[in-house]
């Protein structure tokens, strides 16, 4: 949130001081106090989703008991060439794939949001920056939380040890199976990007499901790891969305107590701003 929705620079601000001010605003604004008349009506995500969480937990336990071991035995019999294909695809589930371009765009936003632009153009850039910031935070923070959680759990990856081998608080990569980090990343991306760009949801679903399946096919995770990772990734993106919503950044809490996405700039408006920026 290198530039923030609803903010505007002081007339005459320019150069290095202006860029620094934009950077500071981008860091500080998401930390501001909640605002909005209907914010108190928002029920915390962990309470809203508690029933679903119970179902996910039950599914994970059931998968550990009846699905994990048979699935891994079946995967071991798959053709080598088939596994090689998914071994190439699975790398696209690493968090760097969505995070690096989002980070580059975020770093560019204070440089693009130049004071010479008209107020409307600066507003468009600010709205874009807030949405980029949400997606970056949702994917990055959820992935970080997953990295910590899986090491606390300490479940062994698929091996002769079996699906019930745990060594909690282990920092060895072979004991970091639950929840799946790749599944967490792709489902956090599915939810976060899907909220901002809903037309991409069919493509995002395909991406998330292929990567999730690949983690089992390449024997990096049990099915239960993937189920847990998918749920954790989606939940993390929703928690971060709620944080932004109560601060009226890209989202807001409506009179019904639910979170709604603020209307964003149209593609036509973004093209006009780009033309103004690059003198076309």
* Residues 131, 222: Cα–Cα separation, whole Å: 34
Task: Check residue 37 and give its pLDDT.
Answer: 87
Structural domain containing residue 104:
15-27+43-277
What total of structural domains would you count in the chain?
A: 1
How high is the mean pLDDT of the chain?
90
Q: How sure is the predictor about 126, in pLDDT bands with cuts at 50, 70 and 90?
A: confident
HSE at residue 36, side-chain half, CA atoms within 13 A, is 24
Q: 82 lies in a domain?
A: yes
Could you report the per-residue pLDDT of 55-73, keeping only the tens digit for each? 999 999 999 999 999 999 9
Q: 4 lies in a domain?
A: no
140-163: average pLDDT = 96
HSE at residue 119, side-chain half, CA atoms within 13 A, is 6
Q: 265 lies in a domain?
A: yes
Q: How sure is the predictor about 36, in pLDDT bands with cuts at 50, 70 and 90?
A: confident
> Long-range CB contacts (< 8 A, 24+ apart) of 65-68?
67/223, 67/224, 68/158, 68/163, 68/222, 68/223, 68/224
Task: Check residue 211 and give its pLDDT.
Answer: 98
Cis bond leading into 179, ω under 30°? Answer: yes
Beta-ladder partners of 45 = none
Q: 37 lies in a domain?
A: no
Q: 153 lies in a domain?
A: yes
31-36: average pLDDT = 89
Q: 208 lies in a domain?
A: yes
Polymer length in residues for the chain: 280
Q: How sure is the predictor about 119, in pLDDT bands with cuts at 50, 70 and 90?
A: low
With a CB cutoff of 8 Å and minimum separation 6, the contacts of 268 are: none
244-259: average pLDDT = 96
Q: 36 lies in a domain?
A: no
Longest pairwise C-alpha distance within the chain:
68
Task: Check residue 25 and give its pLDDT.
Answer: 76
260 by Cβ neighbours in 10 Å (0-12 / 13-18 / 19+) ranks as exposed
Task: Check residue 9 and give its pLDDT.
Answer: 43
How far from the centroid of its chain's Cα atoms is residue 230's Cα? Answer: 11
Residue 7 confidence (pLDDT) above 70: no
9-20: average pLDDT = 58
- CA distances 107 to 56, 65, 98, 104, 178, Å, are 37, 47, 15, 5, 33
Q: 177 lies in a domain?
A: yes
Residue 29 confidence (pLDDT) above 90: no
How does 4-40 read in b/e, with b if 16+ C-beta sit within 10 Å? bbebebeeeeeeeebbebbbebbeebbeeeeeeeebe
Least confident of 90-94, 262-266, 275-279: 275-279
Residue 35 confidence (pLDDT) above 90: no
Nearest to 187 by CA among 145, 218, 229: 229
pTM beyond 0.85, yes or no? yes
With a CB cutoff of 8 Å and minimum separation 6, the contacts of 77 are: none
Cβ atoms of residues 134 and 192 within 8 Å: yes
* Residues 23, 14: Cα–Cα separation, whole Å: 13
Task: Check residue 277 and give its pLDDT.
Answer: 67
Would you give the end-to-end CA distance of the chain in angstroms? 26
């Amino acid at each position: 949130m290198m530039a923030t929705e609803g903010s505007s620079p002081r007339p005459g601000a320019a150069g290095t001081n202006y860029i620094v001010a934009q950077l500071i605003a981008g860091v500080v604004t998401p930390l501001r106090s909640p605002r909005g008349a209907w914010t108190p009506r928002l029920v915390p995500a962990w309470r809203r989703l508690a029933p679903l969480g119970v179902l996910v937990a039950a599914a994970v336990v059931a998968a550990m008991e009846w699905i994990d071991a048979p699935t891994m035995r079946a995967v071991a019999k798959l053709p080598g060439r088939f596994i090689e294909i998914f071994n190439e695809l699975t790398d696209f589930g690493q968090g760097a794939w969505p995070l690096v371009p989002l980070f580059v765009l975020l770093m560019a936003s204070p440089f693009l949001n130049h004071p010479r632009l008209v107020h409307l153009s600066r507003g468009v850039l600010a709205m874009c920056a807030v949405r980029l910031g949400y997606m970056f935070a949702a994917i990055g923070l959820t992935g970080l939380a997953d990295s910590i959680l899986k090491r606390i759990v300490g479940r062994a990856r698929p091996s002769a040890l079996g699906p019930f081998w745990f060594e909690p608080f282990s920092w060895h990569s072979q004991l970091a199976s639950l929840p799946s980090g790749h599944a967490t990343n792709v489902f956090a991306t599915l939810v976060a990007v899907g909220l901002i760009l809903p037309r991409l949801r069919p493509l995002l679903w395909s991406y998330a499901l292929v990567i999730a399946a690949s983690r089992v096919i390449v024997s990096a995770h049990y099915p239960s790891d993937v189920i847990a990772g998918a749920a954790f990734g989606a939940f993390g993106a929703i928690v971060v969305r709620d944080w932004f919503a109560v601060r009226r950044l890209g989202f807001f809490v409506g009179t019904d107590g639910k979170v709604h996405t603020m209307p964003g700039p149209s593609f036509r408006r973004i093209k006009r701003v780009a033309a103004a920026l690059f003198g076309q």
